[in-house]
Chains A and B, each alone.
Chain A
Amino acid sequence: MLYYLLLPILSILLIVLQSTVTDLIFSGRFIFEISLIVVVYAGFRLDLIKGTVLAFVLGLTFDCLNGSVTGVLTFLYIIVFWFSFFISEWLDTEKAHVILLFTLLCAFLKEIILNMFYYLAFNVNALPDVYGTIMLQALVIGLFAPLFFSLMDRTGIFIYEKKV
């Protein structure tokens, strides 16, 4: 129950933190989407209900703070979570390179789908302009993902003395 109570607050904290870090380190060139790594992590480590709620809350918070069409990022985060959740059955989710490549793929696909959505909904073709940015963003997120997984696993061991 505590998990569901803390989730909205922690989500807000995470989204605000990632926006600030993005602004500070990358000067707003692209978003350092730690929330997406969290969703992939949830897909690999949490159960379906908890993970879906996490993806929903994170996505919704990001939607609200990002000023985009509310529900789009929520939808994409849920899709990413389910994709991670179902595919984790066939993947060795402990391997760093698997985490890196899978997160990179998710980040890339998520951005492509988001741009496609904006193209279909508002006829905004931003893809040619931000193609390099999407690749770079996906790469940065992918490279950071194994470190994040390791940190989360260690934190879980430290708190619960067992892997989450």
Chain B
Amino acid sequence: MFFLRKYKTIIFIAVVLISVLVMISYNLKYGSADSFLEKIVLETASPVQKVLSGSIKGVRDAWMRYLFLVGLQEENKNLKKKINELNAVIVSYQESYQEAQRLKKLQYIADNSNYRFITARVIGREQAAISRTVMINKGSADGLKNGMPVVASPGLIGRLVDVSWHVSRVLLFIDENSNVDAIVQRNRTQGIISGAGSRGMILKYVSKTQDVQVGDIVVSSGMGGVFPKGWLIGQVIHIDRQDGGLFLKIYVAPFTDFSKLEEVMILSSDGTQMK
């Protein structure tokens, strides 16, 4: 007993060492697959592992979901930004397309006439009760002069009244101060086209005996030397056969929508100065 007590530590170390070495030798020789001890440990560890793995998997899944949502949010933000950019591009393309369409119409006029044209952009409008004018971005520096006819698809729309160096004012046919000599295309009946503001234009001084019908086309007569002959002005929309007067009151609608004017052309030369 004394021996055991004195060499307790050494005996303990030796016993442990021998046990472990025996264990290794046994397992190396016979394998440890069917070990009872291993089964006990595995059975004990299994529920712990299940709980721990489940918890960690839950946390990991939640984290991954969070990361996914953060990614999704970022992606959504980027896509919205992209949509806005693309919308801006589409708007720009639409704008360019419409401008091209308008310019194409103006170009058609230029191509089918012998006049020289100066193209200008509308930069402002004055749509007061009695005054109907627009401002354009060309002036005397570009060769414009007072009285020059102004054209927008498909015909005449007015004339220049104030020409500055780089800006000019166009008096539209619908302005109350505008008077243009015109003829009805079908029967060559002559009259004066006067502006009537929002009501369009009125063809004046046409005798009641004249055969003017709704739908007749009114063109410039070429008299007075301001406007060339035969250019479209408008279309008869209503005829007022006044009881007491000598003349008809013929309402003419312009072909051009003056509220949507963006580009115009100015006839910079008369018929004698061909392009």
A residues lining the B interface (CB < 8 Å): 8-9, 12-13, 15-17, 19-20, 24, 48-49, 52, 56, 60-61, 63-65, 69-72, 74-75, 78, 82, 121
Interface centre among A8, A15, A71, A75 (most CB of B within 10 A): A71
B20's partner among A13, A48, A75, A121 (CB-CB below 8 A) is A75
Complex CA distance for A9 and B48, rounded to whole angstroms? 10
Take A52-B16, A64-B42, A70-B38 as given contacts and tell me if A16 and B21 are in contact as well, using a CB distance cutoff of 8 Å: no
Q: Is the CB of A20 within 8 A of B16?
A: no
Q: Is the CB of A52 within 8 A of B48?
A: no
A16's partner among B17, B32, B35, B52 (CB-CB below 8 A) is B52
B42's partner among A20, A65, A78 (CB-CB below 8 A) is A65
Is B112 positioned at the interface, with any CB of A under 8 Å from its CB?
no
Q: Is the CB of B23 within 8 A of A74?
A: yes
Complex CA distance for A144 and B49, rounded to whole angstroms? 23
Mask, B102-122, CB within 8 Å of A = 1, is: 000000000000000000000
Is B246 positioned at the interface, with any CB of A under 8 Å from its CB?
no
| Tier of interface size on chain B | 20 to 34
Complex CA distance for A71 and B48, rounded to whole angstroms? 23
CB-CB contacts below 8 Å: B47-84 with A: 48-49, 52-53, 56, 60
Residues of A within 8 A of B53 (CB): 20
Complex CA distance for A16 and B54, rounded to whole angstroms? 13
Q: Is the CB of B27 within 8 A of A70?
A: yes
Residues of B within 8 A of A63 (CB): 32, 38
> Distance (Å) between the CB of B8 and the closest chain A CB?
9
> Distance (Å) between the CB of B204 and the closest chain A CB?
94
Take A69-B27, A71-B27, A75-B24 as given contacts and tell me if A12 and B52 are in contact as well, using a CB distance cutoff of 8 Å: no
* Smallest Cβ-Cβ distance to B38: which chain A residue: A64
Q: List 28 A-B contacts (CB under 8 A).
A: A8-B44, A9-B44, A16-B48, A16-B49, A17-B52, A20-B56, A24-B60, A48-B13, A49-B9, A52-B13, A52-B16, A64-B38, A64-B41, A65-B42, A65-B45, A69-B28, A70-B27, A70-B35, A70-B37, A70-B38, A71-B20, A71-B21, A71-B24, A71-B27, A74-B20, A75-B24, A78-B16, A82-B13
Extra 7 A-B pairs, beta carbons < 8 Å, given A64-B38, A64-B45, A72-B24: A49-B9, A49-B12, A63-B32, A69-B24, A69-B28, A70-B37, A71-B24
Q: Is the interface of A mostly helix, strand, loop or mixed?
A: helix
Complex CA distance for A68 and B12, rounded to whole angstroms? 25
Residues of B within 8 A of A74 (CB): 20, 23
Complex CA distance for A78 and B18, rounded to whole angstroms? 12
CB-CB contacts below 8 Å: B21-40 with A: 21, 23-24, 26-28, 32, 35, 37-38
Closest 4 CB pairs of A and B: A71-B23, A71-B24, A64-B41, A70-B32
Q: Is the CB of B20 within 8 A of A56?
A: yes
Residues of A within 8 A of B60 (CB): 24
* Smallest Cβ-Cβ distance to B42: which chain A residue: A64
Residues of B within 8 A of A9 (CB): 44
Residues of B within 8 A of A75 (CB): 20-21, 24
